[in-house]
Structures are given as structure tokens and as C-alpha cells.
Structure 1
Amino acid sequence: MLHLPTVIGLSFILNLLIGLFFLSVHNYKKQSAFLIFGLACIAFSFAELLACLKLILNFPFITSYLANIFIILSPFLIILGLHKYKYSKPLNLRPIYYLLLFTAVVLLSVYPYSAAQMVTSFIIAGLYLFSAYIISTMNFVATLQKKALITCFLIHSLLMFVQTVLLALPILSLSDTTYLEPLELILSSHLILATCSALLLPYLLASNTEHTLASIANTDVLSQLFNRRGFFMKGKNALSLSLYQNKNISLILLDIDFFKRVNDTYGHEAGDQAIKWIAQHIKSQFLNEEISARIGGEEFAILLPNCSLSDARNNAEELRESISCYPFYYEGHDINLSVSAGVSSTLNGEQTIKELLANADKRLYLAKETGRDKVVTYDEKSLLLQA
């Protein structure tokens, strides 16, 4: 059997510390969800403190009624915090206030009796079940921890339902039978699960925040493709996979022809929209394992793992044709855009991405020098001039 006073003490300290941590994060980030999560943890610790006061204080209104209110308030606040974190928009709190008020009134009428704990257990069971549902609908990078938190909430809910039944049995059977040992075990489990949930939640939120920051750092805002930093990092990680060992890798480097004319004639806003338009063509064609990026002003790179030079050339030609065949529309103007591309290829491991990019850049330069709106996969300038 778990030593209940030790469990209560550890749970109280950990929930209080986690609550203070959330409040400090809120003080820094000014995000209301963290304030609510902090208050949820502190409310749970406060409920534990009030319940323990019954050892020295014979005042059921404080040790039973207020303790039950705060123990219910904790999962209420978790649900509210999850909603704020998920949607980041104003929430109609009136139904929640009404539900809390109704709960407070019901508990006020029964708090001196065992029925109070039964009502509290039933409400908590429902709240943790709903919390598990909300978590299941949210996207978290740390999927294992997400599953662990859902499991904690579901087990917590199940235990509270079992506790409700055990508390109801003596009343329904009109007997003096009590279930002190299983109820004490459920109480210990309740405290442990609540504390585990409080420990998992910051990790989930921190993982999402870190992922968001990394995504911002590696993404080009205008095109929503990778930026140069993201391209090299993602490309290096992809090519290190055993899946691509001893396979051909290719790289397409393309540049918008006469892009300066677009900016000079129609304005920089037109140029920005043209970049987005080109990026959309790239996204629509390269949807699978390819890694696409805007690595310069009007320059784009596409890394193609497990792709031969001839296949890469065909892909580049298809992209070039899809861009040149249809005009780009901007504020009533039909703007004909074209791209030039250089393509390089090697066996994975024989060249770095930088070397692939340098070779593709030489061929892009040849495409520009020999007429533009073409794809070049070799370096012989004389052959290009004859073509």
C-alpha cells in the first residue's frame, strides 16, 4: 500500500511548483492559457491543503465543501486552458460559470454527507474524460507524451467513476459496508495521476513552442517554402537516412527570368505575388519526398532524393513549362513569366549539398547566358549555343 501522507505531500509540492512555473511563463509570454494552467495546478494544491486541514480542524465547510470546489475547479481550468491554447480566441465563459455555480449549489446542500464526495467524484470523472477528448483533437509534436497524457486522463476518469460507484454502494444497499482500502488506493492513484498530468502538460506545450520557433527559423515567410538554412538542414537530415544510401540524388536550381523588370514595371508587391505564384507551382508538383526552398531573392532550389539526372531534368522541364504556358495575373495585368534551371546529380555521399548546388548554379548560369527559359543538365556551352 502506498504511504498516503507521502503521496499527498509530494503531490502538493509538485503541483504548486508546476503552477508557479506556468505563472512565470505567462508573465513572460503574456499568453492567457499558461495563466489558466498555473491556476489549475495551484487550485489542486489548495484543495489538498484544505482537505488535510480536517486533521486539525472540525469545520466541514472548509475541509469538505471548499476542498471539493477547488478539486473540481482544477480540471475545469485545464479544459478552459486547453481551449484557449487551441483556439486563441475569446471563449463564451457563461456556460462554464453556470455549471460551476450549479455544482457549488448542489455541493452546498450535501457537503456534510458522504454524498458530497460521490457527486465530486462523478463530476471530476466527466471533466477528465472531456479533457482527454480535447487533447486527442489537438496537434502536438511530442506524440508519445500526448498519448501518455490522454491515458492519464482516461485512467483518472475511470478511477473517479469507480470511486463514485464504491461510495454509492453503501447508500444503495442500505448496509454499513465500507470500502476503505480500495478508496484509499484510488485516492493515492488520483493524486499521482493528477501530478503526472501536470508534469506532462508543460512538456507538450514546450515541444510545440520549440517546433513552432524552429519552423519560423527555417521557413521563408513569403513563399512558405524552406529558406536557405532550412533547406540545408532538412536536406542533410534526409540524405543521412539509410533509405537513400547508395542512391542517386539530384538538385534543381531555378531562377525567375527578368524578375527585375516585373518589380520595375508593376511594383515590388507584384514581384512578391510572382514569387508566391512560382512557389505554388513548385508545391503542387513536388509533394512527396522532395525538399523545396527559396534560397535567394528569386532563386529556388529543389532537392530530389533517389532521383536520377534524367528524371530530375524531366521534372524541371515540366515545372518550366507549367510556369511559361500560363500567364501570371496581377491587378488586371497578364504577366508572362519564365524560369531558367540548372540540374545536377550525384551518388549520395559523393558530393555535399553545397557541391550539388554549386554545379547546378553553373548550369543555371549557362541557361541564362544562352537564351533563358530552358533547363540545362550539362556544362558544354558550345552544345547549348548550337541547340
Structure 2
Amino acid sequence: MGFTVHLPTLLLLSVAINLLIGGLLWAIFKLRSRQHCFRLWALACMAFAAGTLFAGARAFIDAPWITVFLAHVFLGFSPFLVLAGLQRFSGIASRKTRRFRQVLRFSAAGYLLILLLSFQGDPLNARLLTALFSAALFSFAIYTLSKLDTTPSLPVRILKVLFTVHGVLMMSQALVIGVDWLGLNQTNTDFLLRLILINHILLASATTLALPLLAFTQSEQRLRIMAERDGLTGLFNRRSLFREGIRAFDNAAQSQAQLAVLMMDLDHFKQVNDRWGHAAGDEALRLVSRTLRHELRDDDIIGRVGGEEFAVVLRITGDDDVRIITHRLLEAIATNGQEIQGLPLYISASIGGVEKADRHKTFADMMIEADSALYNAKNKGRNRVEFEQLPPETTTP
């Protein structure tokens, strides 16, 4: 049984699908007007639909300016607009990015010039040129995706696969046309090109559906960061610290692992704000947060729980000495906080700590005792560490 493709039906289906998806993306752009990537992606769909319509009109009119030149202008600029949308979406502004955009503009200008000079000959010239141009654009798109830091990474991986397959497909189309030119092809070139067109349409539709998923995933990631992180320091906020602390406490209870909680307060911080201004105070808070990140491990939990109050949950291993760690923190803060942005702030801190014991039934119990130890440290002179002492052991007869 032979495989036949009714090309007009295929082209009309492609136009309808891309117009529907383009309309959806345009509606999203209107709802989220700050995200101009959706407008570019909508235009990419409409350009693909227009190019397909103009190319299909060759069966009804003999006008190469429309059915070849104009058709391939739109078909070539459809992936160009997809890539432009990715560039806008990434929001990366650097010298390398600007140079990259200049290369793209020159490539697009070169594509138009060569297309203008060659389209009146064999129509396959335009198809070959558009296939090579599209393959190059999909390669650039994969490069752009590799620079994105998006969690979860599934939409990026999906788009990389789609762009890779799409690029390979365009190179295959160029190869089929090239082999036909050389007279080495013994198969039905028209059938192969139609088969490639089917896959091209399917991939284009899948790509335009995956692009909003990428944008929505990043928006969700930003909202999650805003909900979980302190806006000034980037550390966990109070709610997130308690959530992560409870999880660490439960894991430590199940595995009989050691755990410590530290409460830290910057000494005389109100005087810093009153004397040097809130901008200096904010910079001091950012410096302390950077110091904590630098001195502690990646799996330690650090949060800002109040104005100048911080909390740390330490997962203790056999070689760790919590008291040594806390004294190292005090020294680092005092050293780094002597001068901030040219101002002699002389930041210091007091720390209260507690190590997990059988009497602690919840993470909140440890936080209460660490806060009590912090109160003792501040009463005993500040810029010091105090640990909540274990109660006397009781025995039953």
C-alpha cells in the first residue's frame, strides 16, 4: 500500500493550526504585555502561516514574486522571530549578546539578498536557501536555550530536542535538494520533500506550544522565589526557613543525625540606621548574608527571620564542632563589617545556639531555646556566642 499525501489539505491544515496558535500567543501577549516574547512568537506563527499560503498559491497563480520570494521571506523569518523571542525572553544583555544579535541581523540581510538574486531561477534554490538559513537559526536557538537558568528544566530540554530535530530536518531537506541537483537521487524527490514538510509542520506546531510552557515555568519560578526568599538578602524568609527547618528536624530524628540551630542578631543595628541611613543598613544586611553563605555549607539552611535577625540550621557531621563554626562566623562578620562602602560601620553580631537533644520534640522547641541563648549572649556583652545548656539528667529508680 503506497503512502500518499494530499498537499493542499496539508497546507491548509498547517495554516489553520499556526493561525490558531498565533492567535493564542497574541492573546497571551495582550494579557501579559510586558512579555514581548509572546508577540514575537505570535508573529512567528503568522509568518509561517503566510509563507505556507503564498507557497501553496503556486498551484493557482504564476507569480514567483509571491509564490517563491515572498513565501520564503515569511518561511525564513518564522524561525528568526522564534529566536528573537527567545532572546527577548532570556533578558541577557552583554557585549557577547549584542554581537550575537548583530550577526543575526547580518545573516537575515544576507538571506534576503541571496533569496532576491536567486528565486527567479529554479524554485528549489529558495527552498535550499531557506532550509540552510532555518537550520542555522535553530542552532542559534539551542545556544540561547543553553544560557537560560530555568527550574524545572523540562521545557528547556523539550525545546532543545525540538530545535535539534527541526535543524536536522532542515539539513535533510537541503541534502535531498543538493543530491537531486547532482543527479544522484534515484528516489522520488517530491515525495521526500512532502514527507519532510509534514514533519516540519508537526515540529513547528509542537514548538509553538512548548514556548509558552517555557515562559510560564519561569514566571512560576520567579513567583516561588518571591514567596520563599527575603527580597533584600536573597536568603530564606521566616516561613521558608521554618518549613526547611522542620524537614531537616524530621530527617535528623529519623536518622538519629545531629542538628544545631543558631539565632543571630546584629549588635546595635538601630544605631547604624540612625547614624548612616537605611541604605547603609541594607548594605550591611546584604554583607552579612554573603558572609553566611561563604562561611557555611550549601546544605546548611540560612534565613532572615526579622529586621536584623538571622537563623541557621546546621546539619552536623562527625567532624563538626558547632562552637568553632559559630566563633568563625563572628570573626568573619566583624572583619568584613568594619567598613562597608567606605563607612566605618564596625558591624558585629551575637549568636545563640542549641544542639538537638531528646527533649526537643519539634523544630520550634529548638528555635525557642536558640532565641533564649541569643538573649543571654546579648545580656552578657554582645559580640559573643552562648549555647543553651542541657538540663540536668534525671534518672528513674
Tell whether the structures are fold-level matches, with TM greater than 0.5: yes
- Whole-angstrom distance in 2 between the partners of 1:352 and 1:380: 16
Match of 2:85 among 76, 81, 85: 81
Q: Which amino acid letter does the alignment assign opposite residue 62 of structure 1?
A: I
Instruction: Report how many aligned residue pairs link the two structures.
Output: 380
The answer to whether residue 117 in structure 2 is matched with residue 106 in structure 1 is yes
The answer to whether residue 288 in structure 2 is matched with residue 285 in structure 1 is no
The answer to whether residue 31 in structure 2 is matched with residue 15 in structure 1 is no
Q: Which amino acid letter does the alignment assign opposite residue 124 of structure 1?
A: S
The answer to whether residue 224 in structure 2 is matched with residue 221 in structure 1 is no
The answer to whether residue 63 in structure 2 is matched with residue 52 in structure 1 is no
Deviation at 1:181, TM superposition (A): 3.1
Match of 1:375 among 372, 385, 388: 385
The answer to whether residue 194 in structure 2 is matched with residue 190 in structure 1 is no
* Residue of structure 2 equivalent to 1:263: 273
- Whole-angstrom distance in 1 between the partners of 2:43 and 2:234: 37
- Whole-angstrom distance in 2 between the partners of 1:44 and 1:243: 59
Deviation at 1:269, TM superposition (A): 2.9
Deviation at 1:290, TM superposition (A): 0.8
* Residue of structure 2 equivalent to 1:384: none
Match of 2:354 among 344, 350, 364: 344
Deviation at 1:299, TM superposition (A): 0.2
1:176-212 Cα offsets, whole Å, 9 max, x none, are 8632333222111111111122122211121112112
- Pick closer, same or farther for the CA change 1:179–1:108 going to 2, 3 Å: closer
- Pick closer, same or farther for the CA change 1:94–1:184 going to 2, 3 Å: closer
Q: Which amino acid letter does the alignment assign opposite residue 74 of structure 2?
A: F
Deviation at 1:175, TM superposition (A): 7.7
Match of 2:367 among 357, 367, 386: 357
Q: Matched residue of 1:342: which SS? A: strand
Deviation at 1:256, TM superposition (A): 0.9
Q: Matched residue of 1:304: which SS? A: strand
Q: Matched residue of 1:82: which SS? A: helix
- Pick closer, same or farther for the CA change 1:192–1:322 going to 2, 3 Å: same
Q: Matched residue of 1:302: which SS? A: strand
- Whole-angstrom distance in 2 between the partners of 1:242 and 1:159: 53
- Pick closer, same or farther for the CA change 1:249–1:210 going to 2, 3 Å: same
- Whole-angstrom distance in 1 between the partners of 2:212 and 2:354: 45
Q: Matched residue of 2:23: which SS? A: helix
- Whole-angstrom distance in 1 between the partners of 2:254 and 2:76: 53
The answer to whether residue 97 in structure 2 is matched with residue 72 in structure 1 is no
* Residue of structure 1 equivalent to 2:106: 95
- Whole-angstrom distance in 2 between the partners of 1:40 and 1:372: 63
1:166-315 to structure 2, matched below 5 A, reads 166-173=176-183, 178-236=188-246, 245-306=255-316, 311-315=321-325
Deviation at 1:334, TM superposition (A): 3.0
8 Å CA contact retained: 1:163, 1:186: yes
Deviation at 1:94, TM superposition (A): 4.9
Identity rate of aligned residues, in percent? 30
- Whole-angstrom distance in 1 between the partners of 2:58 and 2:310: 70
- Whole-angstrom distance in 1 between the partners of 2:247 and 2:66: 58
- Whole-angstrom distance in 2 between the partners of 1:209 and 1:2: 44
8 Å CA contact retained: 2:166, 2:203: yes
Q: Which structure 2 residue ranges, 5 or more long, are not aligned?
A: 392-397
- Whole-angstrom distance in 1 between the partners of 2:126 and 2:343: 72
Q: Which amino acid letter does the alignment assign opposite residue 26 of structure 1?
A: F
- Whole-angstrom distance in 1 between the partners of 2:330 and 2:163: 53
Q: Matched residue of 1:328: which SS? A: coil
Deviation at 1:242, TM superposition (A): 9.4
- Whole-angstrom distance in 1 between the partners of 2:59 and 2:298: 64
Deviation at 1:86, TM superposition (A): 2.4
8 Å CA contact retained: 2:262, 2:313: yes
- Whole-angstrom distance in 1 between the partners of 2:246 and 2:87: 37
Q: Matched residue of 2:119: which SS? A: helix
Q: Matched residue of 1:334: which SS? A: coil
- Pick closer, same or farther for the CA change 1:194–1:306 going to 2, 3 Å: farther
Match of 2:140 among 130, 138, 145: 130
8 Å CA contact retained: 1:170, 1:177: no
The answer to whether residue 42 in structure 2 is matched with residue 31 in structure 1 is no
Q: What TM-score do you get using the length of structure 1 for normalisation?
A: 0.85
Deviation at 1:25, TM superposition (A): 3.1
- Pick closer, same or farther for the CA change 1:349–1:114 going to 2, 3 Å: farther
- Whole-angstrom distance in 1 between the partners of 2:222 and 2:384: 38
Deviation at 1:57, TM superposition (A): 4.4
* Residue of structure 1 equivalent to 2:395: none
* 146-155 vs 342-351, greater mean Cα deviation: 342-351
- Whole-angstrom distance in 2 between the partners of 1:209 and 1:335: 38
8 Å CA contact retained: 1:343, 1:375: yes
1:44-86 Cα offsets, whole Å, 9 max, x none, are 1222333333455454443333222211111111222222222
8 Å CA contact retained: 1:246, 1:348: no
8 Å CA contact retained: 2:145, 2:160: yes
